[in-house]
Amino acid sequence: QKEVEQNSGPLSVPEGAIASLNCTYSDRGSQSFFWYRQYSGKSPELIMFIYSNGDKEDGRFTAQLNKASQYVSLLIRDSQPSDSATYLCAPQGWSGAGSYQLTFGKGTKLSVIP
């Protein structure tokens, strides 16, 4: 059973601060890591992915990966109220059926306070 652990939150940060969202995973064979954002009542949307150890930056978002520690994080700089959503971590590992598949964490709810 592949486990993906995220703090459910809510994580509350003031507007303009850095929000740090963390995720640990059990499958050492995971190759790629995806972050999705889901607004309340809406479908998930892909916002970031990372394949290699280290940091990857995209605008206000930075994904950090440490495969040795089985840890991936998402930093949101200059947080805005519009960032308030649930963030889903999804490592991609071998399914055993001839393909790589994602396993989703249950998500961290972020609330950015104006």
Enumerate binding residues for other proteins (CB under 8 A).
32, 34, 42-46, 49, 88, 90, 92, 95, 97-107
User: Is the CB of 54 or the CB of 98 nearer to other proteins?
Assistant: 98
User: Is the CB of 2 or the CB of 67 nearer to other proteins?
Assistant: 2
User: Is the CB of 43 or the CB of 69 nearer to other proteins?
Assistant: 43
Q: Closest separation between CB of residue 94 and other proteins, Å?
A: 10
Cis-peptide into 114, omega within 30 deg:
no
Residue with tokens 């308030």: 84
Q: Closest separation between CB of residue 100 and other proteins, Å?
A: 5
Q: Indicate the residue type of 53.
A: N
Residue of 84, 88, 60 lying closest to 72 (CA atoms): 88
| Calpha distance 34→80 (Å, rounded) | 21
